[in-house]
Structure 1
Amino acid sequence: MLIKNASVFVGRSFQKADLRFEGDTITAIGHLDGPADLDAEGCCLIPGLVDVHTHGAVGEDFSDANAAGLQPMADYYAAHGVTSFLATTMTLKEEVLTPAMHTLRDYKRTGGAKCAGIHLEGPFLSYAKRGAQAAENLHLPDAALFDRLNEASGGQVKMVTVACEEEGAMDFITHVSRYATVSLGHTSCTYDQAMEAFAHGASHATHLFNGMEGLHHRKPGIIAAAMDAGASVELICDGLHIHPAVIRLVHKLYGDKLNLISDSLRCAGMPDGDYMLGGQPITMKNGKATLTGTDTLAGSSISLLDAVRNVVSFGLPLADAVYAASTAPALAVGLTDVGTLQTGKKADLLVLDRDLALKAVFVDGRRQA
Structure 2
Amino acid sequence: MKIINGSVFLEDGKFQQATVACMDGKITEITTGDALSANSSEAGEEIIDATDCYVIPGLCDIHLHGCMSYDACDGTREALKEMAKYEATHGVTSILPTTMTYPEDTLTTIANAVRDYRIYDNDTPGHATIHGINMEGPFISPEKKGAQNPKYIQRCDINMFHRINLASGGAVRLCDIAPEMDGAMEFIDEARKETRISIAHTTADYDTCKQAFDRGARHLTHLFNAMPPFSHRAPGPIGAAAENENVTPEIICDGIHVYPAAVNLMYKVFGPERLIMISDSMRATGLPDGEYELGGQPVTVKGRLATLHDGTIAGSATNLYDCMITAIKEMHIPLEDAILCASRNPAKAVGIYHTVGSIALGKQADFVIINKSDLMIKAVIVRGQYGKG
Normalising by the residue count of structure 2, what TM-score does the alignment of the two structures yield? 0.93
Question: What residue in structure 1 maps to residue 336 of structure 2?
Answer: 319
Q: Which amino acid aligns with 1:40?
A: A
Question: What residue in structure 2 maps to residue 361 of structure 1?
Answer: 380
Please give the alpha-carbon distance, in whole angstroms, between the structure 2 residues aligned to 1:96 and 1:334: 26
Residue number among 262, 265, 268 corresponding to 1:252 in the alignment:
268
Please report how far the alpha carbon of residue 364 of structure 1 lies from its aligned counterpart in structure 2 after TM superposition.
Answer: 1.1
Unpaired runs of 5+ residues, structure 1, are none
Residue number among 131, 134, 157 corresponding to 1:119 in the alignment:
134
Q: How does 1:167-178 map to 2 (within 5 A)?
A: 167-178=182-193
Normalising by the residue count of structure 1, what TM-score does the alignment of the two structures yield? 0.98
Q: Which amino acid aligns with 1:187?
A: T
Please report how far the alpha carbon of residue 22 of structure 1 lies from its aligned counterpart in structure 2 after TM superposition.
Answer: 1.5
Aligned residues: 368
Please report how far the alpha carbon of residue 66 of structure 1 lies from its aligned counterpart in structure 2 after TM superposition.
Answer: 2.5
Question: What residue in structure 1 maps to residue 7 of structure 2?
Answer: 7
Q: How does 1:192-271 map to 2 (within 5 A)?
A: 192-230=207-245, 231-255=247-271, 256-271=273-288
Please give the alpha-carbon distance, in whole angstroms, between the structure 2 residues aligned to 1:128 and 1:262: 23
Question: What residue in structure 2 maps to residue 305 of structure 1?
Answer: 321
**What is the CA deviation profile of residues 204-250 of structure 1, one whole-angstrom value per residue up to 9, with x for unaligned ones?**
10000001001111000110110111110101111010011011101
Q: Which amino acid aligns with 1:358?
A: I
Q: Segments of 4+ in structure 1 off by > 3 A?
A: none
Please report how far the alpha carbon of residue 4 of structure 1 lies from its aligned counterpart in structure 2 after TM superposition.
Answer: 1.3
Identity of aligned residues (%): 44
Please report how far the alpha carbon of residue 368 of structure 1 lies from its aligned counterpart in structure 2 after TM superposition.
Answer: 3.4
Question: What residue in structure 1 maps to residue 296 of structure 2?
Answer: 279
Please report how far the alpha carbon of residue 188 of structure 1 lies from its aligned counterpart in structure 2 after TM superposition.
Answer: 0.8
Q: Which amino acid aligns with 2:366?
A: D
Question: What residue in structure 2 maps to residue 348 of structure 1?
Answer: 366
Please report how far the alpha carbon of residue 17 of structure 1 lies from its aligned counterpart in structure 2 after TM superposition.
Answer: 1.5
**What is the CA deviation profile of residues 161-203 of structure 1, one whole-angstrom value per residue up to 9, with x for unaligned ones?**
1101111101101111111111101011111111110111111
Please report how far the alpha carbon of residue 121 of structure 1 lies from its aligned counterpart in structure 2 after TM superposition.
Answer: 0.3
Question: What residue in structure 2 maps to residue 151 of structure 1?
Answer: 166
Q: Which shifted more, 323-332 or 167-176?
A: 167-176
Please give the alpha-carbon distance, in whole angstroms, between the structure 1 residues aligned to 2:387 and 2:107: 30
Q: Does residue 132 in structure 1 map to residue 150 in structure 2?
A: no
Residue number among 99, 104, 110 corresponding to 1:94 in the alignment:
104
Please give the alpha-carbon distance, in whole angstroms, between the structure 1 residues aligned to 2:17 and 2:70: 40
Please report how far the alpha carbon of residue 286 of structure 1 lies from its aligned counterpart in structure 2 after TM superposition.
Answer: 2.3
CA RMSD of aligned residues (A): 1.1
Q: Which amino acid aligns with 1:39?
A: D
Please give the alpha-carbon distance, in whole angstroms, between the structure 2 residues aligned to 1:155 and 1:201: 19
Please give the alpha-carbon distance, in whole angstroms, between the structure 2 residues aligned to 1:223 and 1:287: 25
Residue number among 355, 358, 363 corresponding to 1:337 in the alignment:
355
Residue number among 175, 189, 193 corresponding to 1:160 in the alignment:
175
Q: Does residue 142 in structure 1 map to residue 157 in structure 2?
A: yes
Contact 2:256 2:304 in 1 (8 A): no
Secondary structure, aligned partner of 2:301: strand
Contact 1:78 1:368 in 2 (8 A): no
Please give the alpha-carbon distance, in whole angstroms, between the structure 2 residues aligned to 1:367 and 1:42: 18
Please report how far the alpha carbon of residue 41 of structure 1 lies from its aligned counterpart in structure 2 after TM superposition.
Answer: 1.3
Unpaired runs of 5+ residues, structure 2, are none
Q: Which amino acid aligns with 2:264?
A: R
Q: Which amino acid aligns with 1:342?
A: A
Secondary structure, aligned partner of 1:3: strand
